[in-house]
Structure 1
Amino acid sequence: MVARLQSFLSASSQPAATVVSTSAPQAPERPVAEAIQATPREVDDNGLSELLLEAFQIESSEHFGSIREFLGTCPAYDVDALNEAYRCAHSLKGAARACSLRAIERLAHRTEALFAAARDDGIPLDGPVLSAIGRALDVMEDCGLEDKDPDSVAGCTELLAELERLRAGVEVQPSAESSVDSRSGAGTVETVGRTVASAPTVEPIAPDEPFQAEDVPTPTRPQRAPRKSQGVDTVRVHAEDLDRILHSTGQVLGECREQTRLEANVRGLGSRLLVLQKEWEFLRRSLGRHIHSLGGDSVLSGVGKYLDLQDREIRLLRRETTELMQAQKRSVSSLRVLGHQLQNSVRRARMVPVEAVFQGFRKMVRDLARDDGKEVEFRARGLQVFVDRMVLQALKDPVMHMLRNAIAHGLEEPSVREANGKPRVGTLGLTAEVIGDRLQLSLDDDGRGINFDDIRKKAVASGVAAEKAAALATKDLVGYIFQAGFSTARSVSDLSGRGMGLSVVHESVTSLQGGVTLQEKDGPGTCFVISVPVSFATHRLVVARLHDQVFAFPAHAVERLVRVPLSHARKIGGRLTISLEDRVVPVVSLAQLLELGEQVVCAEDDLLSVVVVSTGTQRVALAVDALLDQRDAVIQRLDPPAGWNRRLAGVVHLEDCGLVLVLNPSDLVERSSAFDCVDSFKSRASVPAAPEIPTVLVVDDSSTTRTLETGILETHGYRVVVAADGIEGLKKLRAHDIDVVVTDVEMPKMDGFGLVAAIKKDPVLGATPIIMVSSLHKVETQQRGLDLGADAYIVKSRFDHQDLLDTVKQLL
């Protein structure tokens, strides 16, 4: 590609030359998407060089990756894969020659010749060959875009000679660096220990020897036809512009919710109009009978005509209102679909492969390992997954720090590894995986692992932990390695011992609404797992009310929402706890964690509303006043000084709540261990509901749904009674003065259909309005509920808390 670009640009300023064709076919070039828009007449010498180097940087990166991918399959490979690697080396050589990058040109030529010898002469691609090619790729990448003479590049001359000896089939003794191949592929690095007593002398290729097409062995197999390059139009856009578009998209979706509420209001207007129409029809029939009984008086006849006219007007108004409701519904649905499409398009525009940001880690690991006297094979997997560039940029430093930490603390020196029965070459892995809307990065090594005895001693000696740390279990010591200033290194080096520890990683990851945990692994070594959102775009949030304020929690960290009797809480070790699924969970007042003025949370009717938040293996129940809703929103970063508060992850704008602070779950869990909140909860005795406060019975077998619907209704002034199934619902209905019933369909013991039928057959309860809320969306199911006597049917997949409130209000 670079050669074609140079020929094309040079042709405009040089006379035509005679081209001599050779019998050997040119290796096909791989199409690369370019964004070069200058014409030959507009490019001067400097511009030409910049264009060539820019094109070379793009093309060489692809060739390096393809060759490394091939090396990872060795020694088992097929001929097609070998031909592809040969073609990449050939193209790399030609591109380097076009850019006058002599060192890269020479190394690429020797690599190409070695691939040709493997294909045509049967030279095995074993450990020494793979190691030499891998180091050649390292040196070529290290050369960058500078025109360097091979003699001026450290180790290049020796490497060129080694590659030529390998091509000639002569065994060589590896240099110190030959066994430290950090980038030769995903396979295991093999070290070479044999020394050849007498090796024949091989005449090296002269530095100024021209690399003509005739020197390249003709492939013995027919080459596959290259795919036609399809032009890709690209344009550079600032990330801030995408952020603004994304924010505007969030506002559009917010307007969709506002329009949905207006649609509900229109439905309410239609319902009122229907009632008015029925009342009018009754009045008209009564007046009509009365007029008919009085005879044919002209005045009465005129009144009858007026009644007929008004009847037509009311029917017309009713029809127009229905059409308006349907048009409004279609408009809102289209607006919502378009808003989500726009949001997803902007989100995709921000996504790049992980390797686009993390590609420099291979060289960094190799250099650090060499400087520290260690031999390391770096294995990267899954770097092709797409993630928001902003997320990757924010993760680059933390991941780099953890890789440095693994080399400094985890991996042993080669002699120590051999003494312990391990391979001389250590393994350091980085795996990227997208699970749902989360990016999971696993960093593992096969080193010595974490010495928890050293951590325990250091924690006590440095005063980070009290003397009781000596009795702490291993899992309880993990948190100390993430504290600032904590390091077990006994000496200071460029890699460790400066007190940075893993606190910088923890702080950076938590600022991304993520977490970092230590994961158990089979075999020796350590495995850390970082989990962060794939994108900084929209996030699912759980909204709760505390006193007169509204707060939001990232849904990925919310394990469950629950209302527990305060009387069931137990005091353990000076802390209030509750039991969830046979696990003891501490309860902490969110008001106390946030240091609000009023730090006491009251339990209504002895029921405490809590948000169970988990980060890694730790979890805590945060007490709030009410659980409100779940929303999708774009989280905006807070500017300093508010942005310095680690308890806050950002802010969102909710149309019915205004600006809402998003809390940082990791920081809340970390802070909760320092609070004794036994006195932060008080049970508020039940106050008999005033006659004007309606009572709603919520029947659902899901505790989460019951809690959510209860929070919505209580927040808007309703008194709520709950039941877990139809039988319990009937009992509660007979025991309380219930104004409206909200019931699920699928429940044990008695389902929603059975409950509706039982209520309607009861002479006392039959007039009670019933709302069915279910995920069953089939028309037949909805019609069955309405035929049994239900007054409304709400589908959960389209559930909006305002729909529930509007429907309850209409039926009261």
Structure 2
Amino acid sequence: MDALRAELLAAFAAELAEHMAGIREALADAAAGRQVDLREFSRRTHSLKGAARAVDLPQTEAAAHEAETILLAVERGERTLDGTTLAALRSLADAIEDGARAGDGTGDTAPDAAVPSATPLPGAANAPSDRVHVAGRHVERLARSVHDLSNQVAGQDQLTEMVDALAAELADMPATLDGEVARRIARLVGATERLRRELGRQRWSLERAASEIERDAERILLLPVATLFEGHERMVRELAASQGKFAELTMEPIEAEADRRVLQALREPLLHLLRNAISHGIETPAARTRAGKPEGGSIRVTPTTDRGRLNIVIRDDGAGLDPKAIEARAREAGLIAPGAPTPSRRALYSLLFEQGFSTSRTVDEVSGRGIGLSVVAETVRRLHGRVRILPGRPTGTEIRLSLPLALARQALLLVEAGGTRHALPAANVDRVLRLTPDAFDRTEGGAVLMLDGEPLPVVELADLLGLPAGEPGDGARPALIVEGADQRRVLLVDALDDVRSLVVGDPTAVAADVPMVWGTVLLEDGVALVLEPEALLAADAAGPRRQPRVAPAARPVQRTVLVVDDSITTRTLEKSILEAQGYRVLIAVDGLAGLERLRSGMDAIDLVVADVEMPRMDGFGLLTAIRNDPALQTLPVVMMTSRNSPDDIERGLSLGANAYVTKQEFDQGTLISVVQQLV
């Protein structure tokens, strides 16, 4: 058996062990008369069915399908979890495990072997010799221990400061001393200086060693992203053929690595999405011919990485989404209140992720149970990611997933609110703005900010967390545009501190009962809570909703914008976009030319839009010069750039940019909305 099948079966063994442990526990609870989560029970059997199909274990797949059918009948009230039903489910659980063992040709189907991982699966003996299987929890503990070591090394600064203070104290001893006392003090001064140098040398060595160990420990958690997609082409072809269809799967190559826990958790959702594309998307050859399409359907998976995120796009060229059918089934299922208006497309498509929701009117081995997409949504949420469904271009359906490449280390934005420092995942912060008091519209439901043509609710982060609010002010406030799976919100904070890549720890040790907390990070001066973006978007403010803490002010009419960019194409594009909105636009070819134009006093310039990478003086240099010039320091500056590393964002914020917009592609709507907020 080849290495690929061994790899897939090794992954299936871990998944089988996890799900069977949950199934056995549910059966024990039911037999003891305890409450059983039927949805979770069904989800596990559904997931095992899909995984078994992927590794070509038909006996396991059939047994899981039959167990799922029984559980769905119990959910609908057509059966009860009586002795007969429980006996049938126990037999099917045994059959699931037996089918996996039978695949290795040994014929060992002992019904009492309750731990599937204890019995090698097909191909396990042929696993690559350079692989060692280690429990994930041990690797995670190693990574956190190494991080703690790094923090302890950083604490060597205190020893250095103590030695420096001692050296200074000895140096200040009275010069009038003589004799033995003076000689002893001189020796102490020399010894202290040697100690200081040795501490510095050892600290440098320790920092270097700890850094190397930390990197090596984190590499242990990594696997090639490409392993997530291996072996699915055949599954797609066979599954399509079983439904009388033709479909081909194309996987775009990728060289990146990701946390093994992320990849392992994504195997099941990926299978569900591929099965869903075949069942609900790809049409029969006859239907495709009538629509003027090739007989065979196409499913394309495109993985990419960006800013510490793994982004996966799954596109099919099938029939596409039917908003009317989705709305009808949602109303039928009670997900849309009677008489309520039709939701937005984004909100409507998000209903497809609700458990039990399916647009299929028939139930078969592949679809109609309303479980697959809910598994995807739950897994992605647990991994602190996002998933969206969009219409395909030009036809079909497109599903986008975005998840962190690593679970432990995250790029975090540190902010202050209510006198406390908090952290938010940088990937969920769409942009950072500094908003003046007149930026918000007041409505009966609270303050809103018009951004990209969409009214976004505005709320104080301190209010969401139930923390004391500061005093109102009439200056600009730092604001975060936080986005989740299907909504965005403006969070006002007191200050922006930093952007760092940090190891996120388990929150239960210090914040077990605190809502909206994802984890914790260890900082130099204590522990900060990492906030859960989806929870922040869904939460209401603690107590009565307060208006944002800004004093009302009249919006001044300001129209002159200076665009500073060395690219003639970008300058021309930005100029045409802004002039179309009624702004007067001036041009400068680099930072030095822009600064000269500002200081000349020839024009009353109200806002600067500057690129970062320019000759002679870059955007950061221009921003620094503006903030250091008393006549210009209050001038709003927008940094428009494709540079999107945490260090660049941190630098732009620390230098005083009013907005730092990072986009992979130029977005004219973003530019217009940001400028409208600032002038």
**Normalised TM-score (structure 2):** 0.57
Aligned to 1:489: 360
Q: Are residues 1:58 and 2:20 paired? A: no
**Distance (Å, rounded) in 2 between the aligned partners of 1:617 and 1:654:** 32
Question: Could you tell me which residue of structure 1 aligns to residue 306 of structure 2?
Answer: 435
TM alignment of 1:214-613, pairs within 5 A: 235-260=132-157, 263=160, 306=178, 313=185, 317=189, 324-382=195-253, 385-466=256-337, 470-500=341-371, 502-518=373-389, 521-547=392-418, 549-566=420-437, 568-572=439-443, 574-578=445-449, 585-594=456-465, 596=466, 598=467, 602-603=471-472, 608-613=477-482
Q: Distance in 1 between matches of 2:509 and 2:377?
A: 20
* Matched position secondary structure for 1:416: helix
8 Å Cα contact 1:576-1:677 kept in structure 2: no
Give the conservation status (yes or no) of the 8 Å contact 1:558–1:612: yes
Q: In 2, distance between residues paired with 1:749 and 1:439?
A: 34
CA offsets 1:729-788 (integer angstroms, 9 cap, x no match): xxxxxxxxxxxxxxx993459478989xxxxxxxxxxxxxxxxxxxxxxxxxxxxxxxxx
Relative to structure 1, is the Cα distance of residues 356 and 576 closer, same or farther in structure 2, using a 3 angstrom cutoff? Answer: same
State the shift of 1:403 in Å. Answer: 1.4
Confirm whether residue 664 of structure 1 aligns to residue 609 of structure 2. Answer: no
Task: Kindly state the Cα deviation for residue 334 of structure 1 after the two structures are TM-superposed.
Answer: 3.0
Distance in 2 of aligned mates of 1:468 and 1:260: 66
Once the 2 structures are TM-superposed, how far is the Cα of residue 572 of structure 1 from its aligned partner? 4.7
Give 1:240's aligned amino acid: R
Over 3 Å counting, the alpha-carbon distance change for 1:385 and 1:626 in structure 2 is: closer
User: Deviation per CA, 1:348-398, whole angstroms, max 9, x where unpaired?
Assistant: 222223454543433432343233332211222326643222111111121
**CA contact under 8 A between 1:443 and 1:529: conserved in structure 2?**
yes
Rounded Cα–Cα distance in structure 2 between residues aligned with 1:406 and 1:641: 43
CA distance in 2, matches of 1:309, 1:502: 81
The answer as to 2:518 corresponding to 1:649 is yes
Q: 1:315 Cα deviation (Å)? A: 11
Q: Deviations over 1:64-100 (max 9, x none)?
A: xxxxxxxxxxxxxxxxxxxxxxxxxxxxxxxxxxxxx
Residue pair 2:437, 2:474 contacting (<8 A) in 1 also: no
1:471-510 deviations in Å (ceiling 9; x for gaps): 5443453333333443322333333332336333222112
Mapped contact 1:432–1:439 kept (Cα < 8 A):
yes
Aligned mates of 1:526, 1:671 — CA distance in 2: 31
Matches of 1:378 and 1:528, distance apart in 2: 15
| 2:155 alignment partner, SS class | helix
Q: Secondary structure at the match of 1:506?
A: helix
Give 1:508's aligned amino acid: T
Residue 160 of structure 1 is matched in structure 2 by: none
User: 2: CA distance between counterparts of 1:751 and 1:606?
Assistant: 18
- Partner SS for 2:328: helix
CA distance in 1 between partners of 2:166 and 2:391 (Å): 60
Does the C-alpha gap of structure 1 residues 514 and 419 become closer, same or farther in structure 2, counting only changes over 3 Å? same
Contact 2:498 2:650 in 1 (8 A): no
Q: Quick check: 2:156–2:203 contact (8 Å CA) kept in 1?
A: yes
Supply the distance in 1 between the matched residues of 2:422 and 2:502 (Cα, whole angstroms). 13
Give the superposition deviation at 1:329.
4.1
Matching of residues 198-209 of structure 1 within 5 Å = none
- Displacement after TM superposition at 1:435 (Å): 2.8
Question: For residue 521 of structure 2, what is the amino acid of its counterpart?
Answer: V
Tell me, what secondary structure is at the counterpart of 2:272? Answer: helix
Aligned residue in 2 for 1:746:
621
Specify whether residues 363 and 265 from structure 1 end up closer, same or farther in structure 2 by C-alpha distance, changes over 3 A only. farther
1:717-732 matches, within 5 Å, as none
* Partner residue in 1 for 2:17: none
- AA aligned opposite 2:349: V
- Summarize the Cα distance change of 1:394–1:677 in structure 2 as closer, same or farther, 3 Å threshold: farther
Secondary structure class of the residue paired with 2:481: strand
Would the aligned equivalents of 1:587 and 1:623 in 2 still touch at CA under 8 Å? yes
Q: How many residues are paired up? A: 465
Distance 2:514 2:265 in 1: 18
CA distance in 2, matches of 1:582, 1:422: 36
Whether contact under 8 Å (1:590, 1:623) holds in the other structure is: yes
Distance 2:301 2:463 in 1: 40
Amino acid at match of 2:285: P
Does the Cα contact within 8 Å between 1:604 and 1:684 map onto a contact in 2? Answer: yes
Contact 1:637 1:643 in 2 (8 A): no
Greater length-normalized contact order (CA 8 Å, ≥ 6 residues apart): 2
* 1:493–1:575 Cα change, 3 Å: farther
Identity across aligned pairs (percent)?
A: 29
Aligned with 1:614 (options 478, 483, 486)? 483
After superposition, the Cα gap between the structure-2 partners of 1:507 and 1:606, relative to the gap in structure 1 and judged at 3 Å, is farther
- Would you say the 8 A contact 2:4–2:231 is kept in 1? no
What SS does structure 1 have at the residue aligned with 2:137?
helix
Q: Which residue of the partner structure matches residue 658 of structure 2?
A: none
TM-score between the two structures when normalised by the length of structure 1: 0.48
8 Å CA contact 1:456, 1:469 repeated in 2: no
Q: 2: CA distance between counterparts of 1:798 and 1:321?
A: 38
Change beyond 3 A, Cα 1:531–1:644: farther
The answer as to whether partners of 2:418 and 2:468 remain within 8 angstroms in 1 is no
Distance 1:527 1:332, change over 3 A: farther
For the residues of structure 1 that align with 2:513 and 2:263, how far apart are their CA atoms? 21
1:333, distance to aligned residue in structure 2 (A): 3.5
Once the two structures are TM-superposed, the CA of residue 467 in structure 1 deviates from its matched residue by 6.2
- Structure 1 pair 263/623, CA: closer, same or farther in 2 (3 Å)? farther
1:720 aligned partner: none
Name the amino acid aligned to 1:341: E
Secondary structure of the residue that 1:440 maps to in structure 2? strand
Comparing 325-334 and 519-528, the one that deviates more? 325-334
For residues 269 and 798 of structure 1, what CA distance do their matches in structure 2 show?
Answer: 36
CA, structure 1 residues 269+517, in 2 after alignment: closer, same or farther (shift >3 Å)? farther
User: What secondary structure, in the 3-state scheme, does the structure 2 residue paired with 1:632 have?
Assistant: strand
In 1, the alpha carbon distance for the partners of 2:339 and 2:197 equals 68
Q: Secondary structure at the match of 1:491?
A: coil
| Partner SS for 1:551 | strand
SS of the residue 2:145 aligns to = helix
Q: Using a 3 Å threshold, how does the CA distance of structure 1 residues 646 and 396 change in structure 2: closer, same or farther? A: farther
- Seen in structure 2, the aligned counterparts of structure 1 residues 797 and 586 have a Cα distance that, compared at 3 Å, is closer
Contact 1:609 1:626 in 2 (8 A): yes
Q: CA deviation at 1:320?
A: 6.1
RMSD over equivalenced CA pairs, Å:
4.9
- Mapping of residues 75-154 of structure 1, within 5 Å: 145-146=104-105
Task: Label 1:364 to 1:621 Cα distance change in 2 as closer, same or farther (>3 A).
Answer: same
Q: Which has the larger radius of gyration?
A: 1
